[in-house]
Amino acid sequence: MLHRYETDGAEIYRQSFATIRREAALERFTPVEERVVVRMIHAAGLVELAPHVAFSPGMAEAAAQALQKGAPVLCDVRMVSEGITRSRLPAANPIICTLQDERVPALARDMGNTRSAAALELWRPHLAGAVVAIGNAPTALFHLLNMLQDPACPRPAAIIGCPVGFVGAMESKQALMQDLPVPCMAVHGRLGGSAITVAAINALASHVE
């Protein structure tokens, strides 16, 4: 017997977002935050994600405004940088991931740190006013927070901190939301990952669902 299923892509999206808004606890979010959380839930297939998402006041609005002004998006891994939908970016924003730069292995050895953390040293020329998207490596988020303790370090416009995992992920996001060096958002606990980080950027980049 042939399987019958919904074949209209637009209708699949409509039903998906309607289901999320019906089932997820979204009442505490601003309209811009809600748009971000809905897309993150859609990417994860997990309405239970909503209680774990935290925004500092005005973060979603600040990140969206920075993107409108052409801010670059700095990504910790290529799974994030490649997942961003270019057509949603409002100003042909540069997307930068330095993890594969040939200088990174030597930097990591000299620093005694992971390549994910060392790659952030190459962000410095691009960091001022940027939107940071960390979706994989807790060491990258920790190193960024340490970098930003230096008053001379350029300040990004906003940080999305969603590293995933069992070692350092929860602690790095706690540190982010405690330090709040700039407007920030995080997914608390072990949850996180590239897909929901990409979803957050795509939602901030355009109000179109």
Distance of alpha carbon 158 from alpha carbon 202, whole angstroms: 15
Give DSSP secondary structure letters for 176-201. HHHH-SSSEEEE-TT---HHHHHHHH
List of residues 6+ apart from 72 with CB closer than 8 A: 93, 94, 95, 96, 126, 130, 131
Q: Annotated catalytic residue: which of 3, 42, 143, 207?
A: 42
Distance of alpha carbon 137 from alpha carbon 57, whole angstroms: 25
**Collapsed DSSP state (helix, strand, coil) of residue 133:** strand
42 is catalytic: yes
* Helices 194-205 and 59-68, packing angle to 10 deg: 70
Residue 155 CB neighbours (<10 A): 13
Q: Are 159 and 183 in contact (CB under 8 A)?
A: yes
Active-site annotation, residues: 42
